[in-house]
Amino acid sequence: MIRRDRSLPFAAAIAALLPGVTAADEASTAARLAAIHQDPPALRQFMREFPKGGDLHNHLHGSVYAESVIGWAAADGRCVVLATAQLGPPPCDPAAGRPTVAAAISEAGTYERLVDAYSVRNYERRPVSGHDQFFATFGLFFPGTVGHEGELIAEAAARRGAENTVYLELMQSFGMSEAASLALATPGRFAPGREAAALAGDPALAAIAREAREALSRYEHTWRERAGCGTPRADAGCGVTVRYLAQVIRTLPPEAVHAQIVLGFLLADADPRYVGLNLVAPEDDRHALADYANQMQEIARLRQRFPKVPVTLHAGELTLGLVPPEALRDHIRQAVEVAGARRIGHGIDVALEDRADELLATMAKRDVLVEINLTSNAVIGGLAGAEHPFLLYRRAGVPTALAADDEGVLRIDLTNEYVRAALTYPLDYADFKALSRNALAYAFVPGERLLTDTRTGQRIAACVGSSLVPEQATAACRAWLAKSEKGRLQAELERRLEAFEAAH
Ligand SMILES: [Zn+2]
């Protein structure tokens, strides 16, 4: 029986205006969420099945769980320094405390210690901060992932698929260490301030870009093979549309960062699988702080050469006390106003920036989305609940979407972030639909948007009143969908939302 809740007339009224969505279905689903919004186990079930448009902030290496890395390292004959948990290539030396991973994990307690070392599991019990534990993990486990890039993608995609997510943008650094090495080997070659056209035409960098694209083809082939895509045993990841963001390590010397930025633009310009770029690594690192303004300027200069390549930036992932107050004044503003970022990752220090209200108004006006990473911010930044500016952004009309960030290292998944948001903030079902839809509306996958309003679900004129099932859509809507890759993904999400509401 469908329950009608008189407390939700707005959602029902909106739904009544929309074709394909039954007002009663949406109202009863909204009532169900209202009834369980402080019930974590029930919320977990609800949110796991709730259709999520996408995950726009997700690092490939950070999304893999330690257990996978340890398994690969053991099978590959890799070694581990017992005192530090550092993985590395053979030959191993058990007498010097560097046995094979396979031998090490046969000793009681070692497997568990390695899982802790490659993640923030049990970080509260350790003498280091969440911040330091988090960032220390990558260097320790990275050697265990080499040669398993396709499996990394497979794990990230499968988890999103199992959580009913349509789209995933993965940050990864394919080719970036080669670009950085090229810059460091030939000083002056990527000197900041050099003309963008000359940088973009560098033949050695072009060769690195070619190899990175070919490598991605190999990795995707491995992913689809392992996942059984196209066969009856296909896993849930096969149904997820995966695109990539070139991630630049911002803590390296300026020319090495610059070469990586150029590589990111080259990849996104040439290859539709690469949809944009981002800068990563601790923003509070002393080199990253010193070079921040220059990095924003270099992105601005290259955007003039590659105006169609969208940029999202980790900006304002800082807190008072982590850095001097002066470093909190304008990182988000520079990312938006100088570098032209269309999305901001984290942005947790926004209230500490100069003229924060004006900045928020600018972000709302320019339609800059903030990728919200609640667990990441709680563990790394110690920022949670009312301290987090999630609601501040929303009140200012800045679009937001929930993301998993480094879910493997953080020991979470995307569902957890929806549950966390529901338990922490006064959000109703319409809010969650908008958050889910935003994660596609603001994706960098090309094409016009199907929805003119992610809250109400209002569609572009060509598809009003039409079914969104391709074979059943009106001719006008079908023609429109054929032209927009993003629109087709959004149609898929709308169909999944209808199915979810009919079942809940
Ligand atoms: Zn991140």
232 in the same domain as 117: no
Query: Could you tell me the distance, in angstroms and rounded to a whole number, from the CA of residue 406 to the centre of ligand 1?
Result: 7
Query: Could you tell me the distance, in angstroms and rounded to a whole number, from the CA of residue 124 to the centre of ligand 1?
Result: 21
- Could you tell me if residue 101 is inside a domain? yes
Query: Could you tell me the distance, in angstroms and rounded to a whole number, from the CA of residue 322 to the centre of ligand 1?
Result: 17
Yes or no: say if 66 and 133 are a contact pair by the CB < 8 Å rule: no
Q: Which two tokens stand for residue 309?
A: 């390549």
Query: Could you tell me the distance, in angstroms and rounded to a whole number, from the CA of residue 376 to the centre of ligand 1?
Result: 8
List the beta bridge partners of residue 384: none
166 in the same domain as 25: no
288 in the same domain as 366: yes
CA–chain centroid gap for 223, Å, is: 19
- Point out the domain boundary residue: 133, 167, 184: 133
474 in the same domain as 325: no
User: Quick one: pLDDT at residue 371?
Assistant: 98
Q: Tell me the average pLDDT of the chain.
A: 94
Side chain identity at 34, as an amino acid letter? Answer: A
Side chain identity at 215, as an amino acid letter? Answer: A
464 in the same domain as 430: no
Full domain range(s) for residue 16: 9-36+456-503
- Point out the domain boundary residue: 107, 133, 159: 133
User: Quick one: pLDDT at residue 12?
Assistant: 42
Give the span between the Cα atoms of 418 and 403, in whole angstroms. 9
Query: Could you tell me the distance, in angstroms and rounded to a whole number, from the CA of residue 6 to the centre of ligand 1?
Result: 41
Query: Could you tell me the distance, in angstroms and rounded to a whole number, from the CA of residue 212 to the centre of ligand 1?
Result: 21
Give the span between the Cα atoms of 252 and 173, in whole angstroms. 13
369 in the same domain as 277: yes
- Number of domains making up the chain: 3
pLDDT tens, position by position, 288-328: 999 999 999 999 999 999 999 999 999 999 999 999 999 99
DSSP letters spanning 124-186: GGSSS-HHHHHHHHHHHHGGGTTT-HHHHHHHHHHHHHHTTEEEEEEEE-TTHHHHHHHHHHS
- Phi, psi of 2, deg, nearest 5: -90, 125
Query: Could you tell me the distance, in angstroms and rounded to a whole number, from the CA of residue 341 to the centre of ligand 1?
Result: 15
Query: Could you tell me the distance, in angstroms and rounded to a whole number, from the CA of residue 58 to the centre of ligand 1?
Result: 7
Total residue count of the chain as it appears in this document: 504
User: Quick one: pLDDT at residue 201?
Assistant: 93
238 in the same domain as 186: yes
CA–chain centroid gap for 367, Å, is: 18
- Could you tell me if residue 2 is inside a domain? no
User: Quick one: pLDDT at residue 6?
Assistant: 37
Candidates 342, 313, 348; CA nearest to 328 is: 348
Work out the average pLDDT over 254-267.
97
Work out the average pLDDT over 374-390.
96
Work out the average pLDDT over 217-242.
97
Residues of the chain with pLDDT > 90: what percent?
A: 91
Query: Could you tell me the distance, in angstroms and rounded to a whole number, from the CA of residue 502 to the centre of ligand 1?
Result: 35
Burial category of 435 from C-beta neighbours within 10 Å (exposed 0-12, middle 13-18, buried 19 and up): buried
In the predicted structure, residue 241 carries a pLDDT above the cut 80 = yes
Query: Could you tell me the distance, in angstroms and rounded to a whole number, from the CA of residue 242 to the centre of ligand 1?
Result: 17
pLDDT tens, position by position, 178-204: 999 999 999 999 998 888 888 989 999
- Point out the domain boundary residue: 441, 464, 491: 441
- Could you tell me if residue 404 is inside a domain? yes
In the predicted structure, residue 3 carries a pLDDT above the cut 60 = no
- Could you tell me if residue 481 is inside a domain? yes
- Could you tell me if residue 204 is inside a domain? yes
- Phi, psi of 257, deg, nearest 5: -65, -40
Query: Could you tell me the distance, in angstroms and rounded to a whole number, from the CA of residue 443 to the centre of ligand 1?
Result: 16
- Could you tell me if residue 4 is inside a domain? no
User: Quick one: pLDDT at residue 63?
Assistant: 96
476 in the same domain as 386: no
Work out the average pLDDT over 456-479.
95
**To which residue do tokens 């009532």 refer?**
31
Query: Could you tell me the distance, in angstroms and rounded to a whole number, from the CA of residue 179 to the centre of ligand 1?
Result: 21
Query: Could you tell me the distance, in angstroms and rounded to a whole number, from the CA of residue 57 to the centre of ligand 1?
Result: 6
Query: Could you tell me the distance, in angstroms and rounded to a whole number, from the CA of residue 300 to the centre of ligand 1?
Result: 21
Enter the DSSP assignment of 426: -
**To which residue do tokens 């330091």 refer?**
132
322 in the same domain as 183: yes
User: Quick one: pLDDT at residue 21?
Assistant: 53
List the strands of the sheet with 52-59, edge to edge.
52-59, 165-172, 241-249, 274-280
314 in the same domain as 246: yes
Query: Could you tell me the distance, in angstroms and rounded to a whole number, from the CA of residue 433 to the centre of ligand 1?
Result: 23
111 in the same domain as 19: no
- Could you tell me if residue 245 is inside a domain? yes
Query: Could you tell me the distance, in angstroms and rounded to a whole number, from the CA of residue 343 to the centre of ligand 1?
Result: 12
Query: Could you tell me the distance, in angstroms and rounded to a whole number, from the CA of residue 280 to the centre of ligand 1?
Result: 7
CATH code of 285's domain: 3.20.20.140
169 in the same domain as 94: no
User: Quick one: pLDDT at residue 100?
Assistant: 98
Residues within 5 Å of ion ligand 1, judged at the Cβ atom: 405
User: Quick one: pLDDT at residue 492?
Assistant: 98
Q: What is the pTM of this model?
A: 0.94
Query: Could you tell me the distance, in angstroms and rounded to a whole number, from the CA of residue 33 to the centre of ligand 1?
Result: 29
Query: Could you tell me the distance, in angstroms and rounded to a whole number, from the CA of residue 314 to the centre of ligand 1?
Result: 7
- Could you tell me if residue 3 is inside a domain? no
Work out the average pLDDT over 334-343.
98
CA–chain centroid gap for 321, Å, is: 26
Query: Could you tell me the distance, in angstroms and rounded to a whole number, from the CA of residue 59 to the centre of ligand 1?
Result: 6
In the predicted structure, residue 144 carries a pLDDT above the cut 50 = yes
